[in-house]
Structure 1
Amino acid sequence: MSMNPSQPDAGRRKLPLVVLGLAALVATMLCAFALPSIHGGPHRVPVGVTGSQQVVEDLRRSTDSKAWDVRLYSDPAALRSAIEERDVAGGLSVTAHGVDVYTATAGGPSATGALTTLGSKVAAQHGTRASVQDLVPFTEDDPRGGGLTAVLLPLIFGGIFPALILSSLFPGHRGLRTRLSGGLLFSVVAGAAVAAVLRFATHSINGDYWLTALGLILGMAALSSTLIGLQAFIGIIGFAAGSALMMLLGNPLSGLTTGPHWLPEGWAAFGQLLPPGASGSLLRANGFFGGAGAGLPALVLTAWAVFGVALVLLADRRGQRAMSVRREILSV
C-alpha cells in the first residue's frame, strides 16, 4: 500500500498553528482567572443615599467615582425599597443621630463589606456611629451563601455533559433531533433537581421553588442547546470552543461569588452576557429577590437557547440536503 508523502508535511505545517492556538488559550485562561482577581474591587457600585443635600454632595466628593455610583433618595423607606428591587446594591441613611447602613448581602457579599466600611468612614467624619441592617441576607442555614456559589460548576457541566454523552449515543444527522430533545429534557429534570437541593436540602435560598427551578432550567437549556448546536453545525471544534468559552471564561467572569460589581466593568459586562453569568444572576434574583432584576439575564439565556436551536435546525437542513444528494446519485 502506497503512502502519500504530502500528508506528514501537511501535518507538520499545521503543528505551529496548533501550538500557537493552545498557547493563546492558556494565556486567555490566565487573563480570565487572574485579572479580575487582581483588579477586583468596587467598580461603579450603585449605592443610594438619603439625607441632606449637603451630606450627599460631601459624600460624592469624598468617594471614588470609579468605585461608587451615588444616587439620592427622598427618605429611608424609598432607599430600602430600591435595595429590595435591586436598583442599588445598598445605601446609607445619614441623619443627626447616626448613619444607617442598608445592605443586601445576598446580592453581592463583597460589595456589602465595602459598603459597610464606607458607612463607618462617613459616620466617623460626622462624629457618630454606623449601624448595619442587612435587608436581603443569605439564609440562616447557609449564612455565607456556600450553596449559591457551589451551583456554578454543576450548571456548566449540566450543559457540557448532555452534549458530550448524547452525541456519542446518537451520532450523525439521524440522531440530531434526539440529541436536542434529550438535552432539553435533561435541562428540565436537572434544573428542577438542583432547585430542590438548594431550596429543601441545603436551604441555601428562600425564594419560590418553581420560579427558581424555571430559571435553572432555562440556564441549563441555554448551555446544552448551544453546545449541541455548535457540535452539530461545526463539529468537535465547535463543541470544544463552546465548552472552553463557558468553562474558562464564563466561570471566572460570572461574578456569582462576589457579585458582578466587584469585577472590572468590561469583564463584568462580558461575563453577564455568557450563560454562566446570566444563570447566576437569574438564580440570585429568583432565589432571594422575588424575581426582581430577572428580566435581563432571562433574556440573555433565551437568546443563547434560541441560538443553539437555530444551529441545530441549520445543521439538520444541511444534513437533509446531503442525504437528498446521495439518494439522487444512487438512483442514477
Structure 2
Amino acid sequence: MPRQGRPPLLIAVLIGVGIVVAQALLVPLFAAPAANLGPRDLPVVVAGPAPAADAFAAQLAQREPGAFEISRAPDAAAADAILRDNAAYAAFVVGPTGPAVHTASGASPIVAQLVGQAAAGMNAPVTDVVPGSPDDPRGGGFAAGFLPLALTALAAGAALALLVRERRARFVGVLSFGVLAGLVGPLVLQTWLGVLSGDYLLNAAAVGLFATAVAGTVAGLGAALGRPGIALSMLVVFLVGNPLSAVSAAPELLPQPWGAIGQFLPIGAGGSLLRSTAFFDGAGGAGPAWVLGAYALVGLLLALVAGARPTPAESRVEAPADREAVAA
C-alpha cells in the first residue's frame, strides 16, 4: 500500500512560511549595519605639543563619547607613520596656527569623508597621507569588485563538493582555483579597472588566499556533511559574513560587536587583507591573513580527508543489490 505523504497544499504553505521567516531575519541583518553606520572606538591620532594636543584630545573625546580610540604622537611625522602602518584612520595635528587633519583614505574612503567633513567645520586643511586608487576615489569600485570574488569562490567550492567525489582531485581543485583566482582577480581589478594600487603579486597573494579560504570552506564542509554542509557554509560565509564584512565602510563604523565578528569571517578578513596589500604594502594584514589561512587549512583538510558520499541515484541503484546480498 503506497505511503501517504504530506498534501501538496501543506507543502506549498510551509515553503512560503519558511521563506518569509528567512526574509524577516535577513532584511535586518543586511539593512541594520548599513543604517547604523557611525564611529565606534575608531582609531585616530592626535599629534602635537603636549598641552595643546592633550586639550584637543580631551575635547574630541568629550564631543563624541565612545566614537574615537585616541592615541598620541609627538608630531606630524610620527602621526603619518602610524597612518602608513595601517594602525589608524586619521590624525589631528595640532600646531601653532590650529589643527590640521591627515587621513588615510586607502583604509576607508567613508571614514576619510567623515573626517573631512569634521575638518571643514574646524576650518582645518586636509592631507591624504595614504590615498586610495586615483581611479576609484570613493572606494565604490573596490567594494563592488570584491563581491564577485566572493561569489565565484562560493560557486567553485559548491561545484567541487557536488561534482568531484575523489578526495585528492577535490583538494587539487581547491588549490588550483585559489591560484588562478589570485592571478586573474587582481589582473582585472588593478590593470583593467584601476581600483587597486600597490604590488600586483602581493595583491594576487591576498586574493588567492581569500579564494582558497572560501572555496575550501564550502568544498570541505560539503564533502564532510553533504548538501547541509554547503548550505551551512553559504549561510556563514555570505548571508552572515557579507553584511558584517564592512568592505565598503570600516569595521569600527558597524554596531558592535558585529563589526569585530565580521573580521573573523572570510569576506571581512579578505577585504581587510586586500586593502592592506593594495594601499599599505601589507601593513596591518597579518591578522586577516591568519584568519583566512585558518579557513583555508581546515577547508583543504576536510576536502582531502572527508569520504566521498554516494549520490541519491547511486544509492537507489545500490540498494536492491544490498538487499539481495542480505537475503542470500
Q: TM-score range by the shorter chain?
A: 0.7 to 0.9
Q: Which residue of 1 aligns with 2:42?
A: 45
For 1:42, what is the secondary structure of its paired residue?
Answer: coil
Q: Which residue of 2 aligns with 1:206?
A: 197
Q: Which residue of 1 aligns with 2:316?
A: none
Distance 1:118 1:142, change over 3 A: closer
Please give the alpha-carbon distance, in whole angstroms, between the structure 2 residues aligned to 1:310 and 1:17. 37
Query: Which moves more between the two structures, 10-19 or 256-265?
Result: 10-19
1:299 to 284, 290, 294: 290
Q: Which residue of 1 aligns with 2:317?
A: none
Query: Which moves more between the two structures, 202-211 or 141-150?
Result: 141-150
Kindly indicate whether the alpha-carbon contact (under 8 Å) linking 1:100 and 1:131 is maintained by their aligned counterparts in 2: yes
Letter in 2 for 1:69: E
1:139 maps to 2:139: no
Kindly indicate whether the alpha-carbon contact (under 8 Å) linking 1:44 and 1:68 is maintained by their aligned counterparts in 2: yes
Kindly indicate whether the alpha-carbon contact (under 8 Å) linking 2:213 and 2:295 is maintained by their aligned counterparts in 1: yes
Please give the alpha-carbon distance, in whole angstroms, between the structure 1 residues aligned to 2:169 and 2:100. 57
Kindly indicate whether the alpha-carbon contact (under 8 Å) linking 2:213 and 2:292 is maintained by their aligned counterparts in 1: yes
Distance 1:264 1:77, change over 3 A: same
Cα deviation, 1:98-146, whole Å, max 9, x if unaligned, reads 221001111111211221233344x3xxxxx310001111222222223
Q: Which residue of 1 aligns with 2:319?
A: none
Please give the alpha-carbon distance, in whole angstroms, between the structure 2 residues aligned to 1:57 and 1:220. 44
Deviation at 1:233, TM superposition (A): 0.8
Please give the alpha-carbon distance, in whole angstroms, between the structure 2 residues aligned to 1:47 and 1:251. 26
Distance 1:17 1:222, change over 3 A: farther
Distance 1:22 1:180, change over 3 A: farther
Please give the alpha-carbon distance, in whole angstroms, between the structure 2 residues aligned to 1:228 and 1:90. 40
Query: Which moves more between the two structures, 206-215 or 310-319?
Result: 310-319
Q: Which residue of 1 aligns with 2:236?
A: 245
Distance 1:299 1:212, change over 3 A: same
Please give the alpha-carbon distance, in whole angstroms, between the structure 2 residues aligned to 1:13 and 1:25. 18
1:177 to 147, 157, 168: 168
Cα deviation, 1:273-327, whole Å, max 9, x if unaligned, reads 11111110000000000001100100000111122123224423999xxxxxx9x
1:218 maps to 2:215: no
Deviation at 1:185, TM superposition (A): 0.2
TM superposition score normalised by structure 1: 0.85
Deviation at 1:206, TM superposition (A): 1.6
Kindly indicate whether the alpha-carbon contact (under 8 Å) linking 1:163 and 1:179 is maintained by their aligned counterparts in 2: no
Letter in 2 for 1:98: G
Letter in 2 for 1:209: Y
Kindly indicate whether the alpha-carbon contact (under 8 Å) linking 1:158 and 1:190 is maintained by their aligned counterparts in 2: no
Deviation at 1:56, TM superposition (A): 2.6
Please give the alpha-carbon distance, in whole angstroms, between the structure 1 residues aligned to 2:58 and 2:104. 24
1:69 maps to 2:69: yes
Summarize the alignment of residues 1-332 of structure 1 with structure 2, pairs less than 5 Å apart: 2-5=1-4, 8=5, 22-51=19-48, 52=52, 53-62=54-63, 64-121=64-121, 123=122, 129-170=123-164, 172=165, 175-316=166-307
Kindly indicate whether the alpha-carbon contact (under 8 Å) linking 2:161 and 2:220 is maintained by their aligned counterparts in 1: no
For 2:44, what is the secondary structure of its paired residue?
Answer: strand
Gaps of 5+ in 1: 124-128, 320-325
Kindly indicate whether the alpha-carbon contact (under 8 Å) linking 2:110 and 2:138 is maintained by their aligned counterparts in 1: no
Distance 1:167 1:317, change over 3 A: closer
Deviation at 1:22, TM superposition (A): 4.2
Query: Which moves more between the two structures, 88-97 or 16-25?
Result: 16-25
Report how many aligned residue pairs link the two structures: 310
Deviation at 1:151, TM superposition (A): 2.3
Deviation at 1:207, TM superposition (A): 0.8
Letter in 1 for 2:114: A
Kindly indicate whether the alpha-carbon contact (under 8 Å) linking 1:219 and 1:301 is maintained by their aligned counterparts in 2: yes
Letter in 1 for 2:60: L
Kindly indicate whether the alpha-carbon contact (under 8 Å) linking 1:44 and 1:65 is maintained by their aligned counterparts in 2: no
For 2:246, what is the secondary structure of its paired residue?
Answer: coil
Please give the alpha-carbon distance, in whole angstroms, between the structure 2 residues aligned to 1:10 and 1:163. 35
Please give the alpha-carbon distance, in whole angstroms, between the structure 1 residues aligned to 2:135 and 2:86. 23
Gaps of 5+ in 2: 311-321
